[in-house]
Structure formats: structure tokens, C-alpha cells
A and B are shown apart, each in its own frame.
Chain A
Amino acid sequence: MDEAPKWTSEQLELLETLRSKDEVAHNPALAPLAEALEKDPELAQRLDRILKWDARFTDAIGEVAVPFGLAEKILGNLECSNQPSPQVETTVPERRPRSRRRWMLAVAGVAAAILVVAVVLLNGLPSMSPETLLSMARDRFLENQGNGPNGTALATESAPERFPFSPDLRQLPGTRWRSVSDFRSAEALAYDIPLGVGQKATLYAVRCRANAPLSSRPPASPSMRTQNLAIAAWQGNGLVYVVVVEGGDRAYRAILKSLPQRLA
């Protein structure tokens, strides 16, 4: 037998728009709903379940496997779209086909040589995904968080040349370096950078290959945010750099050298 509807469609729709129970308590416009929730445990249970579903959907919807090499494809297409149009080309002095062919062969040869050198240089380096690098750096940072200053002060002794400090970050006074033995199978060095008020940032210089494209400079916004930590990765000097900064986005931006010209 059909029962009369327990709740109005307005109540049911409102429940679905909520992000948390607190929202009902703090929004005067939702006072009638707050009252209904207080009086009706079944309605309150319904909201509980909706919020649990929402949390699961929010987590699951972002979990999408991104095709390998997508960034390269996009950048390749952008480069093509950026090529001068035929009309623009007419302003360039005309070249004889043979010299153009010769020039293209030379460019192809140089490119192939660079590729061979790159393969030789990179061969043997462990390969990690950007996500793994970010997570590894976060874990290493958290493990070391309670410890006092350790390692060698940069002011008294330079770090090994194979692991230079990133030129894109501010090298603040009191920076110390130490080797990191447990960055998976990769050789790594950590620079601990004091930020004042008891906070610090750690720059990990890792000898490895990222198996997906990383930018050649730190991104303007961190790629991972967790537990008030901002984490980002990029590549340079034949290394992958990962920085973990206490204090979130603001602290992260403060240690970048050239933010005003960058966009996230």
C-alpha cells in the first residue's frame, strides 16, 4: 500500500545540495530544514547517508587514468597551431629546396644525436610517475618532521655538485643538506629550508626519470595539497626536484623566485 510522502520535494532537494551538517546549523535560510532534521531521525539518517555517498563520489570521480604522453600530444598540437601561416611565410626570404632539405637533414641529425645522448644519460635511472614522486616526498617529509635540524649547513659546506640546489627557489639562510637513502631506488639529496615560525620546506633533488612530463620550472601552484603541506615537482639540472612546503600555497609561493611571471 502506498504511503503518503513523508517529506516535501523541496526538503529532499535541499538535502541533496548540502555539503555538511554544519551548513544547516549555520545558514538561517535553512532553519526550517534544521528543525525538521532535529524532529525527524529518519530524515537525519537520510542526510547522513547522502553525505557519505557524496564523499565517495567526490573521491571516485577524480580517479581517472590519464593517457600516457597526453601533455606531449597537446603541446605538439599547440606547436603546430603556432606555426606561421603560409601568408606569413611569404615575408621570409625564399630558399632553394635543396638547401632547405640539407638544413632539415642537419636538424634531424642533431635531434637524433641529442636523443641518443639523452637515452645514454638516462639509461639506468629509476623511473617514477609524478604522483609517486609527490607522495614519496610527502612521506619522507612527514617522517622527518619531528626531528630537529640535521645534516650539514650549506653555509659551511657545499652540497655535492651532482645535486645542485634548484635555481628556481630562494636559498634562504640556514638551509641545510643531507642525503636521503630511502627515496625508492633513486639517489637523492634533501635541502631543509627554514621558513621561520617553526615551519620549513624541504627540497628533494632526486636522480631519476619522471615517466610523464614535468615542467622545467616549479609550477605556480602546488600539484598536491595535504595536511597544510604544498608539494610540487619539476625537472632541471638532470634531476627531478620535489619540494614540500609547510604552510600551504602562500608559503609555497613565497619560496619561488619568479612567481609574478608564471601562471598556474
Chain B
Amino acid sequence: MPVFEVSHLVGSVDMGGEQAQVEIAQLVLDHHREIYAYAYRLCGSVADAEDLTQTVFLTAHQKLGQLRDAESARGWLYAILRSHFLKLCRKRKPIPAANLEVNLDELAGAVEEPVEIDRELLQIALAELPVDHRMVLVMFYFEESSYQEIAERLEIPMGTVMSRLARAKARLRALLSSPASEGSVPAHLIGRQG
């Protein structure tokens, strides 16, 4: 059973005048699962999610001094993750304009009764969304942030968040709603698996 010797992975942080030891190893052990899950939902690939998770903890290690209290560790790690993810997206090839279209009519369309959600199909559907819509959606569902909090954290107007959130949710529901029986792959997603 692996036991980590953490003494050499300890940083020192000023917490209200008192020096407290911040253990990066403890942060990793406590939070790596949720950081990976968040990264996976944003990136959609295991390799990218692993890389992103590694980068998050590397940055956290370098910037431990920014962490002021235990309660904010999760939010702080999430913020690092979002920042790196957006940088990664900017570096990569721009997404073709056609993929950025989110059907405006979908917002006003009927909301069907929910179906059982398969986690892999959910990932395929998430990948269909433009990055800025996906980010807002993952913050809403994964972080359970309000639209006001999302606006504040992403530094964008609340109206923009509301619009992106509403359209992204409508799109996601439309992608996952299946005219066939529950459990089958929705017609929109056939051929996009794997």
C-alpha cells in the first residue's frame, strides 16, 4: 500500500500572521479525484484530463502562498483548473464556426421528461458544445455554482452566463433525449461514440 513521505512537499504559507504548513501531498490525496473528474468533463479525453490534473497540482505547488484557508482549497484548485483549461483551448486550433452554432430555437422547444443519463453519452454530448458553453454548464452542474457566481469567476456579464447556460442546457437535453426507448443511444449521438 503506497504511503507517501510528504515532508519534502510541504510549503509554508502566511495565514493571518501565523505560519502554517500547507501540504501539497495532502491536497493531492484529498482532491485529485474531483479535479480529474472536472478536467475530464471539460476536456473529454482521459489523456488531456490527466495532463490537466497534473498541471493543476504543479501550479498549486508553486503558488501555495496564494491559498489562505483550508475551506477555500477546493475552489482555488477549480480556479487553477479553469484557467489552464482555457489556456489549453486558446493554444489549440480554433473550432470551426459551424460547430459553434447552438440552435436558438432549441431554447423554446419542449422539455421532454428526463431519461436515464449514461455517463459516456453525457461526455459525447458535452463535447458537442462550444467551449464557452461547456465551461458554464460544467460550472453549473459540477461545481453547483449559481449563474451570478459563474459570471463573477469567469469575469463575464450575468446576461451572457444566463444566455449560454440556457442554450447549453437545452442543447444537452436535446442531444440526450431519445425518441427510442430509454437506455438506447440517442440518434443524434450515433456514430460519435468512441
Instruction: Let me know if B27 is at the binding interface, CB within 8 A.
Output: yes
Size of A's binding interface in residues, CB under 8 A: 58
A13 vs B136: C-alpha distance when bound (angstroms): 14
A217 vs B27: C-alpha distance when bound (angstroms): 12
The stretch of B30-38, B83-91, B95-103, B186-194 that contacts the partner chain: B30-38
Instruction: Let me know if A53 is at the binding interface, CB within 8 A.
Output: yes
Central interface residue in A9, A57, A60, by most chain B CB within 10 Å: A57
What total of A-B pairs shows CB separation below 8 Å? 166
Instruction: Let me know if A58 is at the binding interface, CB within 8 A.
Output: yes
Instruction: Let me know if B152 is at the binding interface, CB within 8 A.
Output: no
- B residues 18-55 near A (Cβ < 8 Å) are 20-34, 36-37, 40-41, 46, 50, 53-54
Residues of B within 8 A of A210 (CB): 1
Instruction: Let me know if A104 is at the binding interface, CB within 8 A.
Output: no
A81 CB contact (under 8 Å) in B4, B46, B61, B138: B61
- Say whether, besides A75-B25, A215-B25, A50 and B32 are in contact (CB < 8 Å): no
Prevailing SS type, chain A contact patch: helix
- Name A238's closest neighbour in chain B (CB-CB): B1
Are A14 and B117 touching (Cβ within 8 A)? no
Contact residues on B (Cβ < 8 Å of other chain), bracket: 35 or more
- Say whether, besides A12-B107, A74-B57, A67 and B114 are in contact (CB < 8 Å): no
Closest chain B CB from A32 CB (angstroms): 15
- Name B119's closest neighbour in chain A (CB-CB): A63
Are B29 and A219 touching (Cβ within 8 A)? yes
- A residues 31-77 near B (Cβ < 8 Å) are 46, 49-50, 52-54, 56-64, 66-67, 70-75, 77
- Say whether, besides A61-B138, A223-B30, A264-B30, A215 and B4 are in contact (CB < 8 Å): yes
A199 vs B127: C-alpha distance when bound (angstroms): 46
Are B112 and A64 touching (Cβ within 8 A)? no
Instruction: Let me know if B153 is at the binding interface, CB within 8 A.
Output: no
Instruction: Let me know if A263 is at the binding interface, CB within 8 A.
Output: yes
Instruction: Let me know if A17 is at the binding interface, CB within 8 A.
Output: yes
Residues of B within 8 A of A209 (CB): 1
Are A214 and B119 touching (Cβ within 8 A)? no
Encoded as 1 (CB less than 8 Å from any B CB) or 0, chain A from 222 to 264 comes to: 0100000000000100000000000000000000000111111
A211 vs B33: C-alpha distance when bound (angstroms): 14
Are B112 and A49 touching (Cβ within 8 A)? yes
Are A219 and B1 touching (Cβ within 8 A)? no
Are A74 and B28 touching (Cβ within 8 A)? yes
Are B26 and A61 touching (Cβ within 8 A)? no
B32 CB contact (under 8 Å) in A66, A82, A216: A66
Instruction: Let me know if B124 is at the binding interface, CB within 8 A.
Output: no
Instruction: Let me know if A93 is at the binding interface, CB within 8 A.
Output: no
Taking Cβ atoms with an 8 Å cutoff, the residues of A that contact B are 5, 7, 9, 12-17, 19, 46, 49-50, 52-54, 56-64, 66-67, 70-75, 77-79, 81-82, 118, 122, 209-210, 213-217, 219-221, 223, 235, 259-264
30 intermolecular pairs with C-beta atoms under 8 Å apart: A5-B108, A12-B108, A17-B165, A46-B111, A49-B111, A57-B117, A57-B141, A61-B37, A61-B141, A62-B37, A64-B36, A64-B41, A66-B33, A67-B36, A70-B33, A74-B54, A77-B57, A78-B9, A78-B24, A82-B8, A213-B4, A214-B29, A215-B26, A219-B29, A221-B30, A263-B20, A263-B22, A263-B67, A263-B73, A264-B73
Q: Which 3 A-B pairs have the closest CB atoms?
A: A64-B37, A16-B166, A13-B166
